[in-house]
């Protein structure tokens, strides 16, 4: 399967400073940048930086980032689901995971998450994919945000809806382990019925849940 990657860039002026949102960013360019020290939600910044470079080098991988000069202050990752997750069953070539989204604390009021996600879907380049994200409350920054679990969930739903991702039911044990966790999905207009049916089989694996 050929993965269409169309580079987009936009600038956001901030008083005397300027932010750049761009992507998908190639691994060589990513390696030249540094990570903001606050980007530690998933692993230490240096380790996460290395992971971003690796994802960018994958055939299907996409990194959309926000940077101030040469410092990454936010990013979104897209890639095939991890082999250990149920979503990798069937090795679907047209099933892509929005794996992580993170913005440094001082930049969180600028709508960067929405802008980065929208960049990914520019010019119809994701219409051949089923794009999904799994939202788990234990990844959410409840302490810094001051939000309750349910308010944070609403915020994440609003964020994903900017590209028409919607809530989908599933019997996945991790998602079902807490009512705030959720699966959100966008099915591109060029996705064949066979892939939609295969995704339904992956979503529901306990017969009594149908």
Rounded mean pLDDT, 100-126: 94
Domain assignment present for 104: yes
Model pTM? 0.92
**What CATH number should be reported for the domain holding residue 143?**
3.40.630.30
Rounded mean pLDDT, 46-64: 97
Domain assignment present for 150: yes
Domain assignment present for 156: yes
**What is the residue range of 116's domain?**
8-209
Q: How far apart are CA 187 and CA 189, in angstroms?
A: 7
Rounded mean pLDDT, 129-148: 91
95-103/130-135 β-pairing: parallel
H-type helices in 17-123, by residue range?
27-32, 45-56, 112-120
Domain assignment present for 1: no
Rounded mean pLDDT, 112-117: 96
What total of structural domains would you count in the chain? Answer: 1
Residue 123 pLDDT more than 90? yes
Q: How far is CA 50 from CA 20, 57, 80, 82, 146, in A?
A: 21, 11, 17, 17, 30
Q: How far apart are CA 3 and CA 39, in angstroms?
A: 28
pLDDT at 207: 60
């Amino acid at each position: 399967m050929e993965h269409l990657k169309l580079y987009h860039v936009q600038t956001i002026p901030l008083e005397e400073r300027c932010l750049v949102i761009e992507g998908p960013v190639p691994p060589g360019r990513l390696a030249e940048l540094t990570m903001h020290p606050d980007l530690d939600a998933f692993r230490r910044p240096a380790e996460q930086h290395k992971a971003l470079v690796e994802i960018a080098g994958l055939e299907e991988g996409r990194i959309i980032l926000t940077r101030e000069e040469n410092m990454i202050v936010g990013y979104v990752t897209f890639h095939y689901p991890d082999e250990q997750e149920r979503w990798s069953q069937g090795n679907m070539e047209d099933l892509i995971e929005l794996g992580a989204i993170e913005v440094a604390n001082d930049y969180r009021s600028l709508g960067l998450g929405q802008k980065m996600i929208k960049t990914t879907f520019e010019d119809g380049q994701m219409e051949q994919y089923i794009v999904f994200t799994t939202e788990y409350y234990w990844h959410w920054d409840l302490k810094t945000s001051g939000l309750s679990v349910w308010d944070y969930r609403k915020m994440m739903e609003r964020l994903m809806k900017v590209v028409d991702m919607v809530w989908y039911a599933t019997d996945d044990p991790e998602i079902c382990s807490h009512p705030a966790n959720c699966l959100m999905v966008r099915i591109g207009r060029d996705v064949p019925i066979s892939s939609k049916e295969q995704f339904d089989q992956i979503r529901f694996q306990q017969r009594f849940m149908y």
